[in-house]
Amino acid sequence: MASGDKVLVIDDDTTLLNLLQQSLGKAGYEVITSTNGLNGLQKMYEERPDLIILDVMMPRMDGWETCRRIREMSQVPIIMLTAKDEEAEKLKGFESGVDDYVTKPFSFAELTARVEAVLHRTRQRPPQHKPTVHHIDDLTINLENRRVTKNGEVLDLTPTEYRLLATLVENAGRVLSHEQLLSDVWGPEYVDDTGYVKRYIWYLRQKLEDDPSQPKYILTERGFGYRFRRD
């Protein structure tokens, strides 16, 4: 049972909004609703929700634009709702900073489980006995304040990119398989979607490495997975 976490649902389908309000309310969440992106942004600013459920197809401002504007102001976790189930759409969502992706039609039990999983992942903190600041050459990764800098410049990482990097750094020197990374970063339901890991490793290398084609931080162990270099 949830402990009063606040969820903002932005969707132009008022029937679905009412059903989600009832379903998530029964699970213990405080639910706020909005029927369009502009109003949703205003409610996000006023209510400071713990998580946002956002529909893609909406009039005036679609879910992608709403997500982009949210990310300009906040790193609040976002679950995107869409009728599309294509790989390119999911990747577009993750690139935009979405934390999870649920395809319509869905069961309310499934969505509630996704909400709980995303909130749990978001709140995870590195164990206290492990170092929280890692310095490697010109790269500094601070796991306590979720800040990554290179040559003193802050790197702009999406929430998914950061979670993947943090998982690799917390296990520096160890080889992590695609399945391990998928389970830890995206959730157990994504363990078969190995394309996500490869794509996001590429994204991270573009931002972290001096020469992404010759990486010195995120190393590939062919046939096994990926390893972050020890500091």
How do residues 13-33 score in pLDDT, each as one tens digit? Answer: 999 999 999 999 999 999 999
Query: Does 60 share its domain with 161?
Result: no
Which tens digits make up the pLDDT trace of 211-229? Answer: 999 999 999 988 788 999 9
**7 DSSP β-pair partners:** 31, 51
Q: Could you tell me if residue 1 is inside a domain?
A: no
- Burial per residue of 101-134, b for 16 or more beta-carbon CB atoms within 10 angstroms, e otherwise: bbeeeeeeeebbebbbbbbebeeeeeeeeeeeeb
Backbone angles phi, psi at 155, to 5 degrees: -90, 135
* Tokens matching residue 10: 């932005």
Q: Is residue 46 located within the same domain as residue 145?
A: no
Residue 211 is part of a domain; what is its CATH number? 1.10.10.10
- Residue found by looking up tokens 């709702």 in the block: 81
Give me the percent of the chain exceeding a pLDDT of 90: 39
| Residues spanned by the domain of 193 | 133-228
Q: Which of 125, 93, 110, 123 is nearest to 196 (CA)?
A: 93
Domain of residue 84, CATH code: 3.40.50.2300
40 part of a folded domain: yes
Q: Indicate if 16 and 97 belong to the same structural domain.
A: yes
φ/ψ of residue 230, rounded to 5: -70, 145
User: What is the separation, in whole angstroms, between the first and last Cα of the chain?
Assistant: 41
pLDDT over 70 at 90, yes or no: no
Domain boundary among 94, 123, 152: 123
Residue 107 Cα to chain centre, angstroms: 21
Q: What is the DSSP letter of 224?
A: T
Alpha-carbon span 4 to 131, nearest angstrom? 32
The predicted-structure confidence for 112-164, as pLDDT tens digits, reads as follows 999 998 888 777 654 444 568 888 889 999 887 888 999 989 999 888 889 89
SS3 category, 55: strand
For residue 174, tell me if it sits in a domain: yes
Q: How many structural domains comprise the chain?
A: 2
Q: Do 27 and 107 reside in the same domain of the chain?
A: yes
